[in-house]
Amino acid sequence: MNGKGILDGVRVLGIEQQVAAPYCTMMLADQGAEVIKVERAGSGDSAREMAPILKNGENTTSGYFMRFNRNKKSVTVDFSKPEGIEILKGLIAKSDIIVENFKPGMMEKFKLGYDVIREINPKGVYVAISGFGRLPKKQGPFAKRTAYDIVAQAMGGLMHLAGQVDGPPTWLGVAIGDVGTGVFAANAALLGYIKALKTGQGEFIDVAMYDCMIALAERAHNVYSFTGKILSRGPDPLICPWGPFEAKDGYVALIVPTQAMWVKFCKAIKREDLINEELDSGPKRAAKINMLMPIIKEWMADKTKNEVCEILMAEGLPCGPVQNSQDVFNCPHVKAREMFVTIPDTVMGEVTVVGSPYKLDGEEPIYGAVPQLGADNDEILSQLLKYDENKIAELKTKKVI
């Protein structure tokens, strides 16, 4: 264990805003990559102004921004000025991976499309995140649309699956359109980096939020491809029991996917009479859901969530209580897994945030502070790009940085 992370020595340039690209680069930073976050001079990433706003005396900081930007360096650049574009070109030339999620066409507007990036840095891996994709040979009719998380969830099929059977489609409650895309993008960035190591050639990687949500909703889309059936909200037509069921003090999530597990479930609730040919498959049980639901509800009604889980787990059945954030925060297993970590912060002193889900035997994640806007301008320009003091002072006077 070197204490620097497995990606120590890898430089990532994040020309990024909001969530998807910042989450991607944060995952790389957690594993030791040097991440230089490029922000607009003056205003910075618009995420810096979003709630929750944390206060320490007269000083404030954005908890929203904090969620996706730990352990990075912040450089401010005015994209509209030639000197700002020269700074970007210099940073691109010095980076192994470039991650960007600006509005489609914006990089081309600044004459920084992949053709230019490839000329500046032939080994550079350019990960372009957008709502609907940018690769010219695979460009669809939605290519120029912008997308937010809720749009990607809706169009990718996830919202159609979430909610009650007679209710409207429902946002999943997590920004999976953004965060999920960020995870896919981080994986893609490392694939590109491996290619560059093996061949000496970089890569353009097109990551679309729409594509990522389709991939996450693969079960529904594959079922339609296989059978022509459209999965929707409400009870599942293929597996039963499956879902949250109400206990005395909350809900328990359980799934009974096989006949062997159905036998165990019937024994657990002391209803061996339900082990018969009419209920010997998931689809058959799903067709009898109106008969089975009252039985399961009655069995759980006088038991706590933990009591239900103990009985079912004693038979080897998968189940778990439905937990809120307080439950998760105080869970002893989560503590053992170190999923909440403390990081230093300029304003708050220190804050507790959700940590990396990766657990490596030989390496530990790197958890650094969230950068103040433009805090690393002097360091990056002088040490990495070799600008002298006079040139940096001139850039500040012209408000390029």
Q: pLDDT, tens digit, for every residue of 127-147? A: 999 999 999 999 999 999 989
| Residue 401 and residue 377 in contact, taking contact as beta carbons nearer than 8 Å | yes
AA letter at 399: K
Confidence class of residue 250 from pLDDT cuts 50, 70 and 90?
A: very high
Q: Of the candidates 268, 301, 326, which is a domain's last residue?
A: 326
Q: Of the candidates 300, 326, 352, which is a domain's last residue?
A: 326
Kindly report the CATH number assigned to the domain that includes residue 282: 3.30.1540.10
233 within some domain:
no
What residue spans of 63-113 are helical by DSSP H?
63-66, 82-93, 106-109
Q: Of the candidates 326, 353, 380, which is a domain's last residue?
A: 326
DSSP 138: G
Kindly report the CATH number assigned to the domain that includes residue 387: 3.40.50.10540
Q: Minimal CA–CA distance to 252: which of 314, 170, 330, 312?
A: 312
165 vs 158, residue with greater confidence: 158
- State yes or no: pLDDT of 2 exceeds 90: no
- State yes or no: pLDDT of 314 exceeds 90: yes
Residues 40 and 163 grouped into a single domain: yes
Residues 39 and 113 grouped into a single domain: yes
pLDDT at 324: 93
Residues 268 and 120 grouped into a single domain: no
333 within some domain:
no
Share of the chain above pLDDT 70, in %: 99
Residues 81 and 185 grouped into a single domain: yes
- State yes or no: pLDDT of 298 exceeds 90: yes
Confidence class of residue 373 from pLDDT cuts 50, 70 and 90?
A: very high
Residues 132 and 260 grouped into a single domain: no
Residues 84 and 150 grouped into a single domain: yes
* pLDDT mean over 214-227: 96
- State yes or no: pLDDT of 393 exceeds 70: yes
Number of domains in the chain: 2
Residues 87 and 181 grouped into a single domain: yes
* pLDDT mean over 47-65: 93
Share of the chain above pLDDT 90, in %: 93
pLDDT at 381: 96
Residues 71 and 179 grouped into a single domain: yes
Q: Identify the burial level of 168 via C-beta atoms within 10 angstroms of its C-beta, where 0-12 means exposed, 13-18 middle and 19 or more buried.
A: exposed
Q: Average pLDDT of the chain?
A: 94
* pLDDT mean over 63-75: 96
Catalytic residue among 30, 178, 206, 211: 178
pLDDT at 1: 52
Within 10 angstroms of residue 52's Cβ, the number of other Cβ atoms is: 11
Q: Minimal CA–CA distance to 39: which of 15, 12, 62, 67?
A: 15
pLDDT at 165: 87
| Catalytic site includes residue 149 | no
pLDDT at 61: 94
Residues 57 and 117 grouped into a single domain: yes
Question: What tens digit of pLDDT does each residue of 281-294 get?
Answer: 999 999 999 999 99
Domain that holds residue 34: 11-217+338-397
Say if residue 52 is preceded by a cis peptide, omega within 30 of 0. Answer: yes
Residues 274 and 382 grouped into a single domain: no
Round the CA-based radius of gyration of the chain to a whole number and report it.
25
* pLDDT mean over 219-239: 92
* Distant-in-sequence, close-in-space partners of 356: CB < 8 Å, separation ≥ 6: 27, 30, 31, 365
**Phi and psi torsions of 11, nearest 5°:** -105, 130
Residues 160 and 267 grouped into a single domain: no
370 within some domain:
yes
